[in-house]
Amino acid sequence: MRLLSTLCGLASLVTLSTSTIFQNGQERETHFIDTRVAPITANSTGWKTYGPNATELAYKGRWDSKHVSWWAAPGLKFGFEGQNVAITFGNLTSQGVLVAYRLGGLDWHMSNVTAGATHQFVSPSTPGLNLTQPWQFPLTFELRVTNWAYGVQIAAVHLSTSSKLIKIPPYSKTIEFIGDSLTSGYSATYEAFSGFGYNIGAGFGNVEFSITAYPGICLHDADCWGNPRGQEYQWHRTPDTSPRAYQIWGAADPPKWDFAAHPPADIVIINIGTNDNNTANGAEPPVTRDQYLRSYLDFIPEVHAVYPKAQIVLMSLWNGFSAVGNSFVQTGAYTDEVYAVYKAFESDGYVHYFNSTGILQHNDIGPQWHPTDVGHVKIASHVMQYIRLKFGWEFAATGPEVQHETLYWNDEVRY
């Protein structure tokens, strides 16, 4: 049996920020918008400035007390009056980080933003702005950091003079994802923004979601692929395990995430262990099957303690695919252990098993050993339907795009 795939996420090697998107080794055609404008200060005419702690600003996912974003695809959402929105990004913004932003239910746009600079995302010439129907007010603006390692710092939000920010209340349901590179969209086209975590959370259209996932991380508290801590430790913390997290907050005692200050999760989706299972992850000594199992058995009650009303869904791990004879088989990772964790809590009623086998095939995995965009969409679609059937959550995204730039079509219909 030839092992074709070994999963990794060499997070510590990724330090350069470029905005070139590759597709099958070719540079992908992109339409990033240059949104940078001259600095807007308190004296700039025509503008009104809000600080990052304005109560109308809703931060999605994990952000710290300096208004720096962490983990995968964190977001910012607010309503506004007028026809202008600009944001000043603080110095703790990763240089050139690619953000997605949209007005109302229009398609997402992409722009790379700069530390210490001001970017204008909405102006009177923004397509669609003038088409807003009376029932579509207040106008909403949303921004998502597309990456998992890079982040932004919100320093200020600027609107037209004599207009104001409007608080958009959160949706009543919340999903939390706990994972690694798979959930955070490593090597997907737009990374976290193309990953199944984002696709599920945004796919429902009426739920809040937080993607506490980072490439290479283990569940067991070991140094895996350069991530100094495992999820059983890091999930309790605000920052992730990126190099910038250690620069900004140090290694000793990063701030704890204040679970009580945020709406509790109704559903927690856990996909973790693929890195624990990989003896090449660099952990010294390697994580053993028994350590993984014990960590998982300990972790479930920790999640339950924080979110006592949450349904916790354990995803089985596909790991990769091997060529066997004239076909392929899924390798799987810790298949028995994940199922054993489910069985250990089954009678408590709040832990569920999501069998991922059969959703992905070998050609849904890209050369970086992670799902392709198609693979992510398949996983997300199945998990969403599972949640709908199991917990009765209906789909509320019924038009506006969720997966950006996935419009592939055949215009040579008679080949």
Ligand X SMILES: *[C@@H]1O[C@H](CO)[C@@H](O)[C@H](O)[C@H]1NC(C)=O
Site residues for ligand X per CB under 6 A: 19, 32, 41-43, 51, 53, 55, 88, 90-91, 96, 112, 114, 116, 124-125, 127, 130, 155, 277, 279, 289, 332-336, 339, 355, 357-358
From the CB of 175, what's the least distance to ligand X, in Å? 23
Environment class of 105 (CB within 10 Å of its CB; exposed 0-12, middle 13-18, buried 19+): middle
Contact 370, 7 (CB under 8 A): yes
Alpha carbon dihedral 234, 237, 242, 248, in 10-degree steps, equals: -150
From the CB of 203, what's the least distance to ligand X, in Å? 23
From the CB of 108, what's the least distance to ligand X, in Å? 15
From the CB of 112, what's the least distance to ligand X, in Å? 4
Task: Between 55 and 398, name the residue whose CB sits nearer to ligand X.
Answer: 55
Sheet containing strand 351-354, strands side by side:
207-213, 173-179, 267-271, 311-315, 351-354
Task: Between 174 and 295, name the residue whose CB sits nearer to ligand X.
Answer: 295
Rounded Cα distance between 46 and 27, Å, is 40
Task: Between 53 and 347, name the residue whose CB sits nearer to ligand X.
Answer: 53
Report the residue count for the chain. 415
How many other C-beta atoms are found inside a 10 Å radius of the C-beta of residue 360?
Answer: 21
From the CB of 387, what's the least distance to ligand X, in Å? 18
Task: Between 270 and 333, name the residue whose CB sits nearer to ligand X.
Answer: 333
Task: Between 24 and 43, name the residue whose CB sits nearer to ligand X.
Answer: 43
Rounded Cα distance between 315 and 71, Å, is 20
318: tokens are 């596909």
Q: HSE-up of 299 (CA within 13 Å, CB side)?
A: 31
54: tokens are 């304005």
From the CB of 97, what's the least distance to ligand X, in Å? 9
Task: Between 126 and 406, name the residue whose CB sits nearer to ligand X.
Answer: 126
